[in-house]
Structure 1
């Protein structure tokens, strides 16, 4: 039987699959459904300091090959998710989880990180540098100087396991520059990618955009994102120091999709658009399909093929 277990830092997970932050993790009902699913772990909704209602509806639309959304960080606030995480930790101590934070300002991120630092939370914290759907707020991950300043500030006091969620990059020089920055810090992992920011879709029946916020601009996910996710996972796996692992997110609909992200270097894989459409039962299917894909290639564990993407030799 194929073994789907993996590790991130010092944390062990029964399998590589989990939800993408923002999908099926808004409230306790959804979080408990993830707990009871066959996911290897879960992450909470990216939290702000206080509860946010998010952007006006409609803010999500299914597309032919994925989705477009401009949710605007609707969430119940950090305290809500920290309470859940501490309860989960007490009841299921052998199932570590992730907590995601996405402050609207650096001061918000500092305050939330300080609260987590002072708490008994012993899992992994994720700093979201890549939310593309809050009107008027730029993605920190595209400002390299700002990214460095944020990480300098957080690591002045934060000592618990920390990872960062990154936006998609599209140029080799961007991979080089961001990796050089990230390698300066004691990060446990990077999570790549967030949705493809500020796409747009037109409803052909009435020539109207399909979501209301930001004049119809929103993050693109699903199959549209897979090639970009593969490239970002591959690029950062090649450039980051070995202590910083990669979580791959984007375009997961079947076991082969999971396999491909691992092949490019991912140690865990998050599911977004397909989870939104199919619900937490998707994890059981993906586990079976991934195991079948591994067995077809003669692999017994994730580490047998992680990062072992084949490339073509350059012509002489």
Structure 2
């Protein structure tokens, strides 16, 4: 979710769910060590609970990144061992690390030794020609031995050569039963599932099979109202604002951002899918896509787009 789940996106999503754990974009350990940490790691208090997702493959560097990130107060640190992009592979982290579970365990052990919050891992069921039924339980045993108690498993293989990142999210077949089987094999671990989950009904079904959590990525971004509004019912809570109420709740945040010199499109680009499947959704997207990046774009444009949706809903 690089370039997607930035701080503005997370604030927007938090207005739809109070309970769901939100994740940052993946931040490379070297960027945390050498880069502008306030810009990379800063976040609003209202985002909690929020997890910092990091990438790396050198235990000492990951440990240093965790130390430097701790003052920012994240609720969890997550090591990404699932991203298949070429950029990630060239840095020797992400899904390519599925080939070296011993190194992953060393990385996690180093992170856990210095972390003040839980350290978790997100992985694939395997890569390339690996047999998931063999390598996945071995991988889980390794990371559990390092001290990890919570694992999120993307229920697809990653093909490191021959498929683009987009194709890696769609072409390798999903194997939900294997992930459910891992929960039965490792009942002491919290195991969540990821991959191809697009509705709350799917999430409920997977949780009913004994899994401890469901991670939703692209669907929560592209159609956030359908996935996030009402998600708190999974915790027995009835928080479920309307999309119109979400827009109104975002107004003060957007106003503060504009007043500090920010641009409207830096926030509204994450809001384009809010009315997906509803009347005037196309008008909402068009007005914000075309106008929010223009110099001087203000809340007036947001009001215009919202007014178009409200008019269609009332018709």
TM-score, with length taken from structure 1: 0.59
How far apart in 2 are the matches of 1:132 and 1:256? 28
1:186 matched to which residue of 2? 147
1:128 matched to which residue of 2? 80
How far apart in 2 are the matches of 1:215 and 1:222? 13
Q: C-alpha deviations, 1:11-51, integer Å up to 9, x for none?
A: xxxxxxxxxx54841x3321221121236231111112466
Picking from 23, 28, 33, the partner of 2:12 is: 33
Higher relative contact order, chain-length normalized (CA < 8 Å, sep 6+) = 1
Picking from 153, 165, 177, the partner of 1:218 is: 165
How far apart in 1 are the matches of 2:156 and 2:221? 14
1:237 aligns with 2:217: no
The structure carrying a bigger helix percent of its residues is 2
| 1:132 to partner: Cα distance | 1.3
Structure 2 residue runs of 5 or longer lacking an equivalent are 236-315
Does the 8 Å CA contact 1:254/1:286 hold for their aligned counterparts?
Answer: no
1:271 matched to which residue of 2? 216
**Aligned pairs (5 A) from 1:20-169:** 21-22=1-2, 24-25=4-5, 27-38=6-17, 40-49=20-29, 79-84=38-43, 87-88=44-45, 91=46, 95-103=48-56, 105-117=58-70, 119=71, 121=73, 123-133=75-85, 134-136=88-90, 137=92, 139-169=96-126
How far apart in 2 are the matches of 1:131 and 1:156? 24
| 1:181 to partner: Cα distance | 1.3
TM-score, with length taken from structure 2: 0.59
| 1:219 to partner: Cα distance | 4.7
Alignment RMSD: 3.4
1:171 matched to which residue of 2? 132
Q: 1:225 to 1:81 in 2, by over 3 A?
A: farther
Q: 1:23 to 1:282 in 2, by over 3 A?
A: farther
1:254 matched to which residue of 2? 199
Q: 1:41 to 1:154 in 2, by over 3 A?
A: closer
How far apart in 2 are the matches of 1:254 and 1:125? 26
Structure 1 residue runs of 5 or longer lacking an equivalent are 1-20, 53-75, 200-213, 292-316
Q: 1:156 to 1:289 in 2, by over 3 A?
A: closer
How far apart in 2 are the matches of 1:186 and 1:222? 29
How far apart in 2 are the matches of 1:30 and 1:150? 29
Does the 8 Å CA contact 2:41/2:72 hold for their aligned counterparts?
Answer: no
Q: C-alpha deviations, 1:251-276, integer Å up to 9, x for none?
A: 11223321232134322212123234
Does the 8 Å CA contact 2:155/2:179 hold for their aligned counterparts?
Answer: no
Larger radius of gyration: 2
Partner SS, residue 56 of structure 2: coil
